[in-house]
């Protein structure tokens, strides 16, 4: 049940909110747990049992680690937890990938399992892992209330596409959180902004990307427009979902971490990854990179750590080689920046540093979106004129003119310009008074417009449902 659906907006959410706010404080987590299980069951009837089982085992492993009589026993319990969680993730997400590659390398004929990917398994697996690791480290106490723990794992606002929320971040909210009209209003506003980003911008860009993929002509400019449109599409799709998740969490009294901070204004790849999918980056930093030694060890080991982290980051996104290549591509850029490129970039004018980042990221999303390495090579060759194609053509110009306004809005919206302008306007006395009336009216218009598109348009799922 996507957030950007009429059934969620006008049936599930109002009913859940009514039950939640009419329940006593002690019953609120149970209401959220039941609602979250129904939310997941609606789209994944069978795999909702898998999520419930994962929650139960994470809860029991946490208790075992806490009650262990020795450090050795606690370490063994943690290893069991990690092996179990990663084992489930590997089985359901990567079985056919490994079988295909074994067959390719050995000539074997092992039949594929064709296991459907459980939606959200990458996210809730990482949440359970961070919890058991933090319990082992002594950073949090094991949760004794299974309802509270299961609610943490299955919270519907961030269940299927993040952000990755750690138990330590919302432990206090789970046990005692405050609710207010202003908090719910700000959460609703954040949700509507995310919904608008997804429905009005990301879905429109998805139409452009699909149209260009099926275009009758191929030109250099067409390849570049497609690459730029997909880069913006995935940003608005994923950041829009994160906005909706954070907004929903705020409505119900939770404070989820930010997941995006205008990444396209970055001037280096290092900065980009401090701003893009922040919860995933910090997860790998805290649970993989730093435990391996981080940056405190020699140069060779530091390079090894970056390669390992980014191999895993790419592989986390999907069971295809293009995701692995995508991760290693960023590893190469990050290593290069750490060794010498960052010092070179810092001497350049801001414009050229930003241009370098945009070019690097655009190429990365060509790799990310490719269905196989052959398609990736063809697209990159087409972009850089290695296929002998004309620079432009009639159809290319048609699509560029047709979607120019959307592309411009998307490009400007990916910067903090609009947010800065709104903040300055609200600081003035006339703007502050006008905002009291205009802001709710604007959100209402955005919601109605998005609803109209949802009723009239076709279904377009969140991209990160695939990962």
188-239 pLDDT, tens digit each = 999 999 999 999 999 999 999 999 999 989 999 999 999 999 999 999 999 9
Whether 353 and 449 map to the same domain: the answer is yes
CB-based contact 198:244 (threshold 8 Å): yes
Task: Let me know if residue 465 belongs to a domain.
Answer: no
| Cα three-residue angle 180-181-186, rounded to 5 degrees | 100
Q: Which residues contact 347 (CB under 8 A, 6 or more apart)?
A: none
Whether 131 and 220 map to the same domain: the answer is no
Whether 366 and 398 map to the same domain: the answer is yes
Whether 109 and 167 map to the same domain: the answer is yes
Whether 372 and 327 map to the same domain: the answer is yes
pLDDT of residue 135: 96
Distance CA 56, CA 128 (A): 10
Distance CA 238, CA 65 (A): 35
Q: Which residues contact 151 (CB under 8 A, 6 or more apart)?
A: 29, 30, 32, 33, 36, 174
Residues of the chain with pLDDT under 70: 457-467
Whether 191 and 236 map to the same domain: the answer is yes
Q: How far is CA 366 from the centre of its chain?
A: 18
Q: Which of 113, 145, 177 is the last residue of a domain?
A: 177
Residue 388 has phi, psi (to 5 degrees) of: 70, 25
Domain count, the chain: 2
Distance CA 226, CA 237 (A): 16
Whether 105 and 56 map to the same domain: the answer is yes
Whether 22 and 168 map to the same domain: the answer is yes
Task: Let me know if residue 122 belongs to a domain.
Answer: yes
Q: Which of 121, 142, 177 is the last residue of a domain?
A: 177
CB-based contact 262:416 (threshold 8 Å): yes
Whether 172 and 197 map to the same domain: the answer is no
Question: What's the first-to-final CA gap in the chain, in angstroms?
Answer: 16
Q: Which of 111, 146, 177 is the last residue of a domain?
A: 177
Task: Let me know if residue 36 belongs to a domain.
Answer: yes
Whether 37 and 146 map to the same domain: the answer is yes
CB-based contact 211:440 (threshold 8 Å): no
The full length of the chain comes to 467
Task: Let me know if residue 205 belongs to a domain.
Answer: yes
Whether 240 and 270 map to the same domain: the answer is yes
Per residue in 159-202, pLDDT (tens digit) is 887 799 999 999 999 988 889 898 999 999 999 999 999 999 99
Query: Residue 406 sits in which domain range?
Result: 183-456
Instruction: Give the CA diameter of the chain.
Output: 74
Whether 260 and 319 map to the same domain: the answer is yes
Task: Let me know if residue 467 belongs to a domain.
Answer: no
Which residues participate in catalysis according to the annotation? 317
Task: Let me know if residue 236 belongs to a domain.
Answer: yes
Distance CA 318, CA 306 (A): 19
Task: Let me know if residue 462 belongs to a domain.
Answer: no
């Amino acid at each position: 049940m996507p957030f950007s659906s009429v059934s969620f907006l006008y049936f599930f959410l109002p009913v859940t909110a009514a039950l939640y706010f009419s329940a006593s404080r002690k019953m609120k987590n149970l209401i959220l747990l039941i609602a979250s299980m129904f939310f997941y069951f609606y789209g994944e009837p069978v795999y909702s049992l898998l999520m419930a089982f994962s929650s139960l085992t994470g809860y029991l492993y946490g208790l075992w680690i806490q009650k262990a009589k020795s450090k050795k026993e606690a370490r063994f319990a943690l290893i069991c937890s990690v092996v179990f969680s990663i084992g489930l993730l590997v089985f359901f997400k990567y079985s056919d990938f490994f079988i295909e590659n074994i067959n390719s390398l050995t000539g074997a004929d092992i039949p594929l399992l064709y296991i459907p990917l459980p939606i959200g398994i990458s996210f809730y697996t990482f949440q359970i892992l961070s919890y058991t690791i933090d319990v082992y480290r002594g950073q949090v106490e094991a949760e004794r209330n299974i309802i509270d723990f299961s609610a943490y794992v299955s919270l519907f606002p961030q269940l299927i596409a993040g952000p990755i929320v750690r138990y330590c971040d919302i432990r206090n909210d789970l046990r005692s959180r405050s609710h207010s009209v202003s908090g719910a209003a700000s959460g609703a506003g954040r949700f509507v902004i995310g919904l608008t980003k997804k429905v009005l911008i990301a879905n429109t860009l998805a139409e452009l990307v699909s149209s260009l993929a099926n275009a009758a002509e191929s030109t250099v400019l067409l390849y570049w427009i497609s690459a730029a449109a997909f880069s913006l599409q995935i940003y608005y799709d994923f950041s829009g979902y994160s906005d909706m998740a954070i907004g929903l969490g705020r409505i119900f009294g939770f404070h989820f971490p930010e997941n995006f901070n205008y990444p396209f204004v970055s001037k280096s790849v290092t900065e980009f990854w401090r701003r893009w999918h922040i919860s995933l980056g910090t997860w790998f930093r805290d649970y993989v990179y730093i435990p391996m030694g981080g940056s405190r060890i020699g140069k060779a080991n530091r390079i090894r750590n970056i390669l390992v982290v980014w191999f895993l980051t790419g592989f986390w996104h999907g069971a295809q080689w293009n995701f692995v290549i995508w991760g290693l591509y960023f590893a190469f850029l990050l290593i290069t920046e750490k060794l010498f490129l960052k010092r070179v970039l810092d001497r350049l004018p801001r414009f050229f540093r930003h241009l370098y980042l945009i070019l690097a990221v655009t190429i990365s999303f060509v790799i990310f979106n490719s269905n196989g390495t052959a398609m990736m090579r063809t697209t990159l060759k087409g972009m850089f004129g290695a296929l002998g194609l004309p620079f432009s053509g009639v159809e290319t110009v048609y699509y560029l003119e047709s979607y120019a306004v959307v592309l411009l809005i998307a490009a400007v919206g990916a910067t903090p310009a609009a947010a800065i302008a709104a903040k300055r306007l609200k600081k003035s006395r006339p703007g502050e008074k006008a905002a009291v009336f205009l802001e709710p009216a604007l959100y209402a218009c955005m919601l109605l417009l998005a609803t109209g598109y949802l009723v009239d348009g076709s279904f377009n799922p969140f991209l990160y449902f695939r990962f």
